[in-house]
Amino acid sequence: MGEGIKESGIKRKNLFVTSKVWNTERGYDKTLKAFDKTLSDLGLDYLDLYLIHWPANELQFGKDANQLNVDTWKAMERLHEEGLIRSIGLSNFMQHHAEPVMSKANICPMVDQIEYHPGFTQEDCVEFCQKNNILVEAWSPLGRGNVLDSPLLKSIATNHGKSVVQVVIRWVMQTGVLPLVKSVTPSRIKENVDVFDFELSQQEMLEIASMKADRIGADPDTCDF
């Protein structure tokens, strides 16, 4: 990534670079050390966004879980105050993970990146974040194949002259959530951003919201990695 940034010729201010603290690097000192390595590997002077990848949970850490998350967050705050990170946030944190951190925080988390797609919307978490001015970022916003194969989504896409992918991205945006769609195919990247010339109706929004789908990733309360 660092080499790509250098070779691109794009001004740093025109790029938004995000990284995360991995689970093995939780805690105050380890987070600071992990960040230094990330910044060095990327060859950058700062990051635009830095996240705690997964919350420490009670399954692994018992009563120490909340304090471990707080310690990690305190390191993030220090890096933000030093100007090394523009924005700091969380990833896969539910309300019961985030509240203990926020109760000890000097800086409220700015982002929470969670699994979010038609059929799996984690409404309670989204509502909590939005009430606290925390931007929700949706990872895996397109779900799995069963979501994209939905007859409902195909019908809505036909009505708008758009693809199912574009309908899903537009739906996520209209719920107030930021979709994180990834692709290495230029045509698909172009398709993914071509979602600003149409709007889903309230009825279409409700129909998509009524879909049911399974969780794709790990459960933050039961993951053991």
Q: Which residues contact residue 99 at a Cβ distance below 8 angstroms, ignoring those fewer than 6 apart?
A: none
Question: Could you give the angle at the alpha carbon of 83 between the alpha carbons of 65 and 51, nearest 5°?
Answer: 35
Q: Which of 34-38, 74-78, 142-146 has the lowest mean pLDDT?
A: 142-146
Q: Are residues 5 and 46 in the same domain?
A: yes
Identity of the residue numbered 217: G
Q: Are residues 98 and 167 in the same domain?
A: no
Do the domain assignments include residue 126?
A: no
Q: Are residues 156 and 216 in the same domain?
A: yes
Express each pLDDT in 14-32 by its tens digit: 999 999 999 999 999 999 9
pLDDT at 144 over 90: no
Residue 28: predicted pLDDT: 98
pLDDT-derived band of residue 147, with 50, 70 and 90 as boundaries? confident
Q: Are residues 188 and 88 in the same domain?
A: no
Domain that holds residue 82: 1-109
Count of Cβ atoms closer than 10 Å to residue 131 Cβ = 9
Q: Are residues 6 and 99 in the same domain?
A: yes
Total number of domains constituting the chain: 2
**In the numeric block, which tokens belong to residue 79?**
């890096």
| 88 torsion bin: left (phi>0), alpha (psi -120 to 50), beta (else) | beta
Express each pLDDT in 62-86 by its tens digit: 999 999 999 999 999 999 999 999 9
Q: Are residues 24 and 87 in the same domain?
A: yes
Express each pLDDT in 151-175 by its tens digit: 999 999 999 999 999 999 999 999 9
CATH number, domain with residue 36 = 3.20.20.100
End-to-end CA distance of the chain: 25
| Alpha carbons 172 and 101: distance in angstroms, whole number | 27
Question: In angstroms, what CA-CA distances link 100 with 22, 55, 127?
Answer: 20, 11, 17
Q: Are residues 104 and 197 in the same domain?
A: no
